[in-house]
Amino acid sequence: MSCAYLIHEKRSLATVKRRYFKQHGGLLLFEEMKSKQGVSFTLFTREELEEATGKFDERNVLGKGGNGTVYKGTLKDSRTVAIKKCKLIDERQKKEFGKEMLILSQINHRNIVKLFGCCLEVEVPMLVYEFIPNGTLYQLIHHHHGHGGLRVSFATRLKIAHESAEALAYLHSWASPPIIHGDVKSPNILIDDNYTVKVSDFGASTMAPTDEAQFVTFVQGTCGYLDPEYMQTCKLTDRSDVYSFGVVLLELLTSRKALNLQATEGEEKNLSSCFLLAASARRLDEILDAQIVNEESIEPIEQVAGLAKQCLEMNSEKRPSMREVAEELGRLRKLLHHHPWGQKSSEEMHGLLVGSPTTSTYSDIEHSNAYVSLDDSAYLGVQSPR
pLDDT tens digits for 4-56? 545 645 544 444 444 444 544 445 555 555 455 545 678 899 999 999 999 99
pLDDT level of residue 245 (50, 70, 90 thresholds): very high
Q: What is the pTM of this model?
A: 0.76
Domains of the chain: 2-130 (3.30.200.20), 137-354 (1.10.510.10)
In whole angstroms, what is the distance from residue 311 CA to residue 186 CA? 16
pLDDT at 85: 84
Catalytic annotation on 183? yes
pLDDT of residue 83: 93
Over residues 97-121, the mean pLDDT reads 79
Average pLDDT for the chain: 76
How confident is the model at residue 337, as a pLDDT? 81
Choose the catalytic residue: 77, 183, 285, 376: 183
Please give the Cα distance from 22 to 27 (Å, whole number). 6
Query: 81: which strand partners?
Result: 73, 130
Above 90 in pLDDT, residue 354? Answer: no
Q: Strand 197-199 and strand 206-207: pairing?
A: unpaired
Confidence band for 315, pLDDT divided at 50, 70 and 90: very high
| Rounded distance between C-alpha atoms, residue 336 and residue 297, angstroms | 10
The confidence score (pLDDT) of residue 12 equals: 47
Question: Which stretches of 174-249 are assigned E, i.e. beta strand?
Answer: 179-180, 189-191, 197-199, 206-207, 214-215, 235-236
Distance CA 221, CA 236 (A): 11
The residue among 149 and 197 whose pLDDT is bigger is: 197
The more confident residue out of 12 and 324 is: 324
Split at pLDDT 50, 70, 90, the class of 313 is very high
Dist CA 292 CA 294 (whole Å): 5
Of residues 330 and 285, which shows the higher confidence score? 330
- Convert the pLDDT of each residue in 161-207 to its tens digit: 999 999 999 999 998 888 899 899 999 999 988 899 999 887 777 77
CA distance 66 to 218: 14
Q: How confident is the model at residue 365 (pLDDT cuts 50, 70, 90)?
A: very low
Per-residue pLDDT band for 368 (boundaries 50, 70, 90) equals very low
